[in-house]
Each structure stands twice: as C-alpha cells, then as structure tokens.
Amino acid sequence: MRPLGVHTSIKNTILNSIAEAVELGCSTFQIFLHSPQVWQIPEFEISIIEEFKRQRQVYGLNPLAVHSSYLINLISSTPKTIASSRYLLKKEVMTADSIGADYYIIHLKDNKDMEKEEIYAKTREGFKKVEEFYSCKILLENTAKSKITASIPDLFETLEKVKHDKIGGICIDTCHLFAAGYDLTKDEGIEKFIKDVEVYGDFKLIKIIHLNDSKTPSGSGIDRHEHIGKGYIGREGFEKFLGIKEFSSLPLILETPKKNLQDDVRNLSVIREIIKKLES
C-alpha cells in the first residue's frame, strides 16, 4: 500500500508527532517545526533530534514532510517582512534538514499588484538564502487562488522560473486543486488535470499529495479543508483522483480538520477503504 499519513502535532516535543503517527497506523507524516503563526523557531536539543531520527527509523515512517510557516512572504512590500521571511525560510529548511526531513513544503505568496516576472525575481532572491548542501528538498504547493500557483500550467511555470537546486518538485493539495477549478468529481476535471500535468510539467515532479475535501464548490478560489467524503469532492471524487495511475505509489498526507485523534482515525479509515477498493 502507498505511504499514508497525516499532519501530526509537535505539542511539547517533536517526539509527540511520531507517537501520534504510530498510534494512527501511519507510514508517513508531516509536521510544523513551530507554531506557523509566529516568527520564532525553537532550537531542538541534539539528544531530541537523535531520538526523533531513531524512532522514525524504528517505525519506518517515510517520507517525513515539514510544512512551512504561514508567515513567510518573500514578495512583501515591507522590507522588514522580506528580511524576516528570508531568515525564517533559511532557518526552517536548515532545521528540517537537521531532523532528517525529506521534504519542506511551502505555499508561495502572490501579489495582485506585481507582474509574474517581478514575483519570480523576488522569490528567487529569497531562495538564495537556502544553503545548497542541505539534503531536504523544497516542494512548491498548489494554491486555491493565485496567478502563480493555482492552475497547473502556472504552478509548473513557477517551478521553472523560481529555479534553485533545493527545489525538488511539487506538492498537490486536492482541496486547493478543486477550489482552483479542477472539478475532481467529474471525468472532465480529472482529464483536464492529467492533460495539464503532461503538457506543462511531468508527473515525476509531483512528490506528495495532500488529501483534503473542500468546504467550498469547485472554482470558488477559497481554501477551506473538510473531512474526507464530507465536502464537495466526496468519496467519488477521491476515488477518481486516487485512481490516476501515476499516483499509485505517491505518499498521501491528510490535513483534514482535527479536534482530536479520532478525527484522523475516521478520515484515514475512509481513505484506506478507497485505496482498498481501487487496488482490489
């Protein structure tokens, strides 16, 4: 079965994220390195990092994805925000690398008052701060509404224009894809997605899938995650999407709403049923 997991909590210690993943029967997982709404990032003790790596190896949790802070904005009109964003980006990738993460996933900001080329240039400048010797690869995630990352053609163009040795590919989020206008409940929507990837990019560049249902209709441009099967995508939409043959071995990570671990249990159960049906 393909790697399946959820975004787990690092509350009190990053070791908690592994405990959650194991309790949920995950084979992959994703974490934040700190609260995504603050600029401060903690320094992890070497002993904790070593234990984290040891436990991850014991339980076979691969790959590990780190999600970026929501505050990073490399194209802000405020110099202080740009400086803080560049520092935090570098610090987060460095920390992700130190704990052995395979991927660092980031949503790039858009700016309606900037032309694409200016956005690309400022973003490239921000990525220059990321050291090239890190093993952790950066993935650009699609978004619900943006002229640089919402449509598949724009996303792959951005990947090409914002070139850096550490940018290793794409993360596709189903909620964002649906909200951007790819109706995953219809064969035409699936076919359009497949054609756009084949024409403008390559399926080999897609490294991780974020599985989230959507609280808003297709084409809404609004990013609101919902429990699997409870939103506008629904079970049938996920069956169509996960039935894409090129996704048969890609890691799947859920970022669905969570009040407690039972929410993850239910969402994972639905996806496991869908995968079992597709593989039977």
Note down pLDDT in tens along the chain; length 280 residues: 799 999 999 999 999 999 999 999 999 999 999 999 999 999 999 999 999 999 999 999 999 999 999 999 999 999 999 999 999 999 999 999 999 999 999 999 999 889 999 999 999 999 998 988 789 999 999 999 999 999 999 999 999 999 888 999 999 999 999 999 999 999 999 999 999 999 999 999 999 999 999 999 999 999 999 999 999 999 999 999 999 999 999 999 999 999 999 999 999 999 999 999 999 8
Query: What ranges do the domains of the chain cover?
Result: 4-279
CA distances 224 to 73, 154, 213, 217, Å, are: 21, 21, 8, 10
pLDDT per residue over 165-205, tens digit each?
Answer: 899 999 999 999 999 999 999 999 999 999 999 999 999 99
CATH of segment(s) 4-279 = 3.20.20.150
End-to-end CA distance of the chain: 11
Q: What is the pTM of this model?
A: 0.97
Distance, CA of 112 to chain centre? 23
| pLDDT tens track for 138-168 | 999 999 999 999 999 999 999 999 988 899 9
